[in-house]
Copies of this chain bind each other. A is one copy, B any other.
């Protein structure tokens, strides 16, 4: 049961491989209708599927793009992936999924794997210390788009970002307008650079309002457990606080659970603000008040951008910034 090749088709029709190749690749402007039809019908009856690998060896293109993300089971990234894959698929590419867990070694392994597969381009959400991996890509001439987080030394590379500082300011302004003054801020792991950016935003705006207090800044991991732990910590260590701004939705949800269990009422006693606007934020009751990143649009944009680069389309903006949007739910 050997696989059918172009040669088989050519022999059956009684033409050369070249002719078949041209028809298969729609470069058939001057192939007679008759030949074309014969070829098509034999392709159909044999169920011939071209060998993309052989094609790739010639063209140095694989028709695949790689997507290196921290963790697909995190809703933020799975929503993003869906957008990336949708656009890629529509434009004739497919997507190889890589979960880096923010681990530089894993990330490196994937980068090399993708290169070895003649990947056409990569969408990279950097973990930590991604400079050297970005460098490998650069040295190998693989186009890539950076997403969500910066890579030192690659600030001029194409990228899709979210205006984190502005997002934080939005959130704080809202909480301030609600009369809150002791606003706790929970950042994600400081090793990830967007978090520093968010902390800076917090510092700036709180200082502007004259209510900045360093001891109101906490750090945790972007998970439900992270949210629960840090919230217990906040309750135990903080003299007074009247609002908590979590820098992702999942943490906020963990926080709300913890507050309720420890007999705080949300939003009556404490206002809660999340960050990301994942679908999940609309599932809890009351719905989470959060700073929305347009996740699906960001994914679409990144996917479109990398493919434009691959296909050498003229690019208007190789760096795209998305702006925040507050979703007012019932928690603040």
On chain B, the residues within 8 Å of A99 by CB distance are: 82, 85-86, 89
On chain B, the residues within 8 Å of A224 by CB distance are: 279, 282-283
Give the distance in Å from the alpha carbon of A54 to the alpha carbon of B79 in the complex: 34
Q: Do B85 and A52 touch across chains, with their CB atoms under 8 A apart?
A: no
Q: Is A78 an interface residue (CB 8 A)?
A: yes
Q: Is A285 an interface residue (CB 8 A)?
A: yes
How far, in Å, is A27 (CB) from chain B's closest CB? 18
Q: Is A136 an interface residue (CB 8 A)?
A: yes
Give the distance in Å from the alpha carbon of A116 to the alpha carbon of B52 in the complex: 5
How far, in Å, is A241 (CB) from chain B's closest CB? 20
Q: Mark A38-77, 1 if CB is under 8 A from B, else 0.
A: 0000000001011111101100001110010001110100
On chain B, the residues within 8 Å of A253 by CB distance are: 283
Q: Is A141 an interface residue (CB 8 A)?
A: yes
Give the distance in Å from the alpha carbon of A279 to the alpha carbon of B141 in the complex: 40
Selected from B49, B81, B96, the residue in CB contact (under 8 A) with A72 is B81
How far, in Å, is A173 (CB) from chain B's closest CB? 27
Give the distance in Å from the alpha carbon of A79 to the alpha carbon of B115 in the complex: 27
| Most B Cβ at <10 Å: residue of A49, A86, A253, A256 | A49
Q: Do A95 and B94 touch across chains, with their CB atoms under 8 A apart?
A: no
Give the distance in Å from the alpha carbon of A110 to the alpha carbon of B86 in the complex: 12
Give the distance in Å from the alpha carbon of A140 to the alpha carbon of B3 in the complex: 7
Q: Do A94 and B113 touch across chains, with their CB atoms under 8 A apart?
A: yes
Which residues of A from 203 to 222 have beta carbons under 8 Å from B? none
Give the distance in Å from the alpha carbon of A280 to the alpha carbon of B249 in the complex: 12
Assuming the A-B contacts A49-B116, A82-B99, are A1 and B285 also in contact, with contact meaning beta carbons closer than 8 angstroms in the complex? no
On chain B, the residues within 8 Å of A63 by CB distance are: 117
On chain B, the residues within 8 Å of A282 by CB distance are: 224
| Most B Cβ at <10 Å: residue of A71, A73, A86, A112 | A73
Q: Do A81 and B73 touch across chains, with their CB atoms under 8 A apart?
A: yes
On chain B, the residues within 8 Å of A140 by CB distance are: 3, 47, 49
Q: Is A134 an interface residue (CB 8 A)?
A: no
Listed by A's residue number, 10 A-B pairs whose Cβ atoms lie within 8 Å are A47-B139, A47-B140, A53-B118, A73-B78, A73-B81, A85-B97, A89-B98, A89-B99, A280-B283, A284-B285
Q: A49-B116, A64-B117 are in contact. List 7 more A-B contacts (CB 8 A).
A: A49-B115, A52-B118, A72-B85, A81-B97, A94-B110, A96-B97, A260-B285
